Amino acid sequence: MGFQSPAALLSRLLLLQGVLRLVWGDLVFIPPFIRMSGPAVSASLVGDTEGVTVSLAVLQDEAGILPVPTCGVLNNETEDWSVTVTPGAKVLEVTVRWKRGLDWCSSNDTDSFSESPCILQTLLVSASRNSPCLAHLLIQVEIYANSSLTHNASENVTVIPNQVYQPLGPCPCNLTAGACDVRCCCDQECSSNLTELFRLSCFTGMFGGDVSPPFDQLCSAGTTTHSVPDWFPFLCVQSPLANTPFLGYFYHGAVSPKQESSFEVYVDTDAKDFADFGYKQGDPIMTVKKAYFTIPQMSLTGQCMQNAPVAFLHNFDVKCVTNLEVYQERDGIINAKIKNVALGGTVTPKVIYEEATDLDKFITNRETPLNNGSAPRIVNVEEHYIFKWNNNTISEINVRIIRAEINAHQKGIMTQRFVVKFLSYNSGNEEELSGNPGYQLGKPVRALNINRMNNVTTLHLWQSAGRGLCTSATFKPILFGEDVLSGCLLEVGINENCTQLRENAVARLDSLIQATHVAMRGNSDYTDLSDGWLEIIRVDAPDPGADPPASSLNGICLDVPARLSIRILISDAGAVEGITQQEILGVETRFSSVNWQYQCGLTCEHKADLLPISASVQFIKIPAQLPHPLTRFQINYTEYDCNRNEVCWPQLLYPWTQYYQGEPYSQCVAKGLLLLLFLTLAMFLSNPWTRICKAWLFF
């Protein structure tokens, strides 16, 4: 019987020592031994971790010699390895990483699929307080050149076809790689003998491989279909079969290969200056250096654009998530000077700095490096901009920046917030209107509570997080014109008192509507109750003090208020400079009750059940004039009903109908008359009309 290697013997000793230490409550690595086959491994250091340092050493596995670990010397990096420690609640997460990258294996080994390991080493991670060793972690490293998904496989990159010319999946029923799928006749892996067995039962349509069928609006489709209407030849589409809507994009015609030129032409990409005659709504704000004033904003794809221009009179509130390893601080705004031509000068932002109190609110998944000798760095976690405007100029800019001090090598995910508000120059506070005078879509519904001193408020909904419990849910305001449904979960026990349950549910629902009046307009004055303030109508409001219906069984409560419906009536109230103004006509809240029963599994355990409660908001638009009732002919004869037919005859001249809202009606009429003039001239100048005129003159 041969002797075991020192590394194997040490691993057995550490495993036995770790079990005993865990039983005694001492400091211990879990697990104490790891076989490493990838670029990184992690282990947990459990116990009293206060003041503990972690060191890393590479063991030389010599026959017959058991390595002796050295502690007390802080060594968290070697030439090839590094160790990082992430603190937790009485637990330290220790991560060991290979620094060179797995490309080093393929560069040093000509055979990327060699049977021998590329990296074969033994690592010892030791935890100590002051100098004595308290715990050890043994890592046996065996990494092969092809053992990681990060292996360089550039020669086998899948070529994705251009969807303009061919579909991405030409055979959707081919679900199994390297095998024949039964009834899938387009599967190239099926031999001719196998295909003959199910040729008469192949999948049809798109799933069977017919990914480019001729759509029914093609003129060629009418020749094979006998059920086309009489007007089909006049409105059908003349197009080749290659131009099909089933592809990812439409066919754009012949494409010639790009000719590589021997020189490059410089294109001037300077920002266009819109501030020479004052700003208009939506114009980008310019600096004196003829550059855009940029603040990170959210794009349509959900990503943060770091150099997005700030648009005049456009408010926004966005959050950007950034990895601290690749984060770069933006240029300071202290020296930024905003162009203000109308006032004959510039505007310099006034910046106020504040320190962040709760760093965990902004940075998650933090990893604290062991080497804290580097100087700390400052990061901005929140930036609040207030632009004071006067007509078409900017008169003042106030900036409040909340910053945090972190380690120079700090790792983690940071969430930044950027807020921009435009306020009138004569506004004494930062009170934001929801419209002037009518409401704007997406603005908060203004509310008032006359029963308390600080009476300014708004209507809210829940914004659940985590498990969706009501205890952890936050509030978000109700926005004008947006129908929303939200809810949360109440934890209820099997022995829950029904009266207490009703009171708790009513309190949760009432917390959303802590208001007595709502503003009819977006600029109603909070200090004047007669300036368009409407009292909220509460229908079927439950009395939390009333006794619930009697129930003789535990786990059953009748008539528990669980739903809140908020209906808001709105209407058009005229127009200002051609823009329709909307106002609120009334607000009604209504409660609905449910019968709750504790849900048992195989046995009724003493665990909390979940009672969902919800709140919904519905905006109902009331027309200024009642619409004319439908005639009997319109009810019975549905050919002209656009909602029940594919062909909509009332929208034949769509740009000149009431359904088109893209441009003002006057512009549509002007363009239509101009087009009619061109058609008339073309008709008079055409050859058939000239012949008719000559024949008329001849007779």
Q: Is residue 692 part of a domain?
A: yes
Instruction: Of 102, 84, 101, give the one whose Cα is nearest residue 93.
Output: 84
Name residue 294's beta-bridge partners. 309
Rounded Cα distance, 161 and 139, in Å? 45
Tell me which of 12-16, 45-49, 495-499 is least confident. 12-16
**Residue 555: enclosing H or E segment and its boundaries?**
none
In terms of average pLDDT, the best of 43-47, 398-402, 449-453, 492-496 is 398-402
Span 347-374, average pLDDT: 76
Q: Is residue 14 part of a domain?
A: no
pLDDT classification of 537: cutoffs 50, 70, 90: very high
Name residue 462's beta-bridge partners. 475
Helix, coil or strand: residue 22: helix
Span 408-428, average pLDDT: 82
Q: How wide is the angle at C-alpha 422 spanned by C-alphas 420 and 428, nearest 5°?
A: 120
Q: What is the pLDDT of residue 564?
A: 92
Rounded Cα distance, 294 and 291, in Å? 9
Q: 131-171: per-residue pLDDT in tens?
A: 778 888 888 888 766 443 344 434 445 566 665 566 667 78
**What is the Cβ-side half-sphere exposure of residue 168, based on CA atoms within 13 angstroms?**
4
User: Are residue 477 and residue 554 in the same domain, yes or no?
Assistant: yes
| pTM of the predicted structure, to 2 decimals | 0.45
Q: Which of 213, 236, 252 is the last residue of a domain?
A: 252
pLDDT classification of 480: cutoffs 50, 70, 90: very high
How many domains in the chain? Answer: 5
User: Are residue 564 and residue 609 in the same domain, yes or no?
Assistant: yes
Q: 327-346: per-residue pLDDT in tens?
A: 877 766 666 788 776 555 78
Q: Which of 395, 424, 453 is the last residue of a domain?
A: 424
**Residue 29: enclosing H or E segment and its boundaries?**
strand 28-30
User: Are residue 237 and residue 126 in the same domain, yes or no?
Assistant: no
Q: Say if strands 53-59 and 91-98 run parallel, antiparallel, or are unpaired.
A: unpaired
Q: Is residue 274 part of a domain?
A: no
Residue with tokens 């070529």: 159
Rounded Cα distance, 56 and 75, in Å? 6
User: Are residue 413 and residue 448 in the same domain, yes or no?
Assistant: no
Q: Is residue 163 part of a domain?
A: no
More confident residue, 592 or 182: 592
Residue pair 489/481 in contact (Cβ under 8 Å)? The answer is: no
More confident residue, 551 or 369: 369
Tell me which of 22-31, 230-239, 371-380, 471-480 is least confident. 22-31
Whether 5 has a pLDDT exceeding 50, the answer reads yes
Whether 518 has a pLDDT exceeding 90, the answer reads yes
Span 308-319, average pLDDT: 87
Residue-by-residue DSSP string for 418-444: EEEEEEETT-SS-PPPS-SSSBPTTSB
Strand arrangement, sheet containing 33-36: 33-36, 133-143, 119-128, 53-59
Rounded Cα distance, 304 and 299, in Å? 6
Distances (CA, A) of 468 to 472, 488, 500, 598: 7, 5, 21, 19
Residue pair 572/585 in contact (Cβ under 8 Å)? The answer is: no
Tell me which of 15-24, 213-222, 320-329 is least confident. 15-24
Whether 266 has a pLDDT exceeding 50, the answer reads no
User: Are residue 485 and residue 419 in the same domain, yes or no?
Assistant: no
**Running DSSP on this structure, what letter comes out for residue 681?**
H
The CATH number of whichever domain residue 94 belongs to comes to: 2.60.40.10
Q: Is residue 360 part of a domain?
A: yes
Q: 363-376: per-residue pLDDT in tens?
A: 877 666 655 556 78
Whether 552 has a pLDDT exceeding 60, the answer reads no
Q: What is the pLDDT of residue 233?
A: 75
Strand arrangement, sheet containing 556-576: 484-492, 609-621, 556-576, 579-597, 537-539
Q: What is the pLDDT of residue 643?
A: 73
Q: Is residue 646 part of a domain?
A: no
User: Are residue 82 and residue 216 in the same domain, yes or no?
Assistant: no
Q: 591-625: per-residue pLDDT in tens?
A: 998 888 887 766 666 778 888 999 999 999 988 77
User: Are residue 415 and residue 520 in the same domain, yes or no?
Assistant: no
559: left (phi over 0), alpha (psi -120 to 50) or beta: left
User: Are residue 91 and residue 199 in the same domain, yes or no?
Assistant: no
Instruction: Of 204, 172, 201, give the one whose Cα is nearest residue 187.
Output: 172
Mean pLDDT (the chain, rounded): 76
Whether 586 has a pLDDT exceeding 90, the answer reads yes
Tell me which of 267-276, 281-290, 400-409, 530-539 is least confident. 267-276
Q: Is residue 409 part of a domain?
A: yes
Whether 520 has a pLDDT exceeding 80, the answer reads yes
Residue span of the structural domain in which 123 resides: 25-61+72-99+117-145
User: Are residue 461 and residue 607 in the same domain, yes or no?
Assistant: yes
Whether 568 has a pLDDT exceeding 90, the answer reads yes
Span 635-641, average pLDDT: 71
- As a 3-state breakdown, the chain gives helix, strand, coil percent values, each rounded to 5, of 15, 35, 50
Tell me which of 66-75, 106-115, 330-339, 597-606 is least confident. 106-115
User: Are residue 484 and residue 543 in the same domain, yes or no?
Assistant: yes
Q: What is the pLDDT of residue 242?
A: 62
Rounded Cα distance, 106 and 96, in Å? 21
In terms of average pLDDT, the best of 257-261, 430-434, 437-441 is 437-441
Span 504-520, average pLDDT: 91
Residue-by-residue DSSP string for 146-190: TSSTTS--GGG---PPPTTTS-S-S-TT--STTSPPTT-TT-TTS
User: Are residue 449 and residue 420 in the same domain, yes or no?
Assistant: no
Rounded Cα distance, 185 and 174, in Å? 9
Rounded Cα distance, 513 and 508, in Å? 10
Rounded Cα distance, 444 and 446, in Å? 6
Q: What is the pLDDT of residue 33?
A: 82
Whether 85 has a pLDDT exceeding 60, the answer reads yes
Distances (CA, A) of 28 to 20, 52, 67, 138: 9, 12, 20, 12
The fraction of the chain above a pLDDT of 90, given in percent, is 8
User: Are residue 137 and residue 185 in the same domain, yes or no?
Assistant: no
More confident residue, 100 or 445: 445
192 backbone dihedrals φ, ψ, rounded to 5°: -65, -35
Q: Is residue 8 part of a domain?
A: no
More confident residue, 360 or 28: 28
Residue with tokens 């059940």: 609
pLDDT classification of 669: cutoffs 50, 70, 90: confident
Q: What is the pLDDT of residue 380?
A: 87
Rounded Cα distance, 80 and 143, in Å? 14
More confident residue, 276 or 84: 84
